[in-house]
Amino acid sequence: MKKEDVWNQEINPDGISETLENLNHDVWDRGYYKETDDGIWYEVYVNQQIKKNLSEIDLKNKEQKKVFGKFNEIMLNHYEDDNQITFFVPNEETQYTLDELTNILI
């Protein structure tokens, strides 16, 4: 499956739904992933303490764009309401990964 196929209900009816184990609960409430031929999609949810400290992430804000804008295909449209961050980590990516996002939010 290609990375864009994760959104195709016919190819991937379960979406990003494989449970992430060993999440850092200082940051995350829960998380899911989906491996593709091109890399891994993550859908992670910050806990209430992180949300309290960072109530919104706006890539129009220069400082926040500098911090979060380098994550591949990051989607923040559900962050304010659902605490959700969705992003893609290409196979060759070594820096902008789930571990890096966790470290940023700690």
User: Tokens standing for 54?
Assistant: 């960072």
Question: What backbone phi and psi angles, to 5 degrees, belong to 58?
Answer: -125, 110
**pLDDT tens per residue, range 4-49:** 999 999 999 999 999 999 999 999 999 999 999 999 999 999 999 9
Rounded to the nearest angstrom, the gap between the alpha carbon of residue 74 and the centroid of all alpha carbons in its chain is 7
- d(CA 99, CA 1) in angstroms, rounded, equals 24
**Residue 68: which of 57, 79, 80 has the closest Cα?**
57
The whole model's pTM is what?
Answer: 0.95
- Pick from 36, 43, 32: which is nearest to 4 by CA? 36
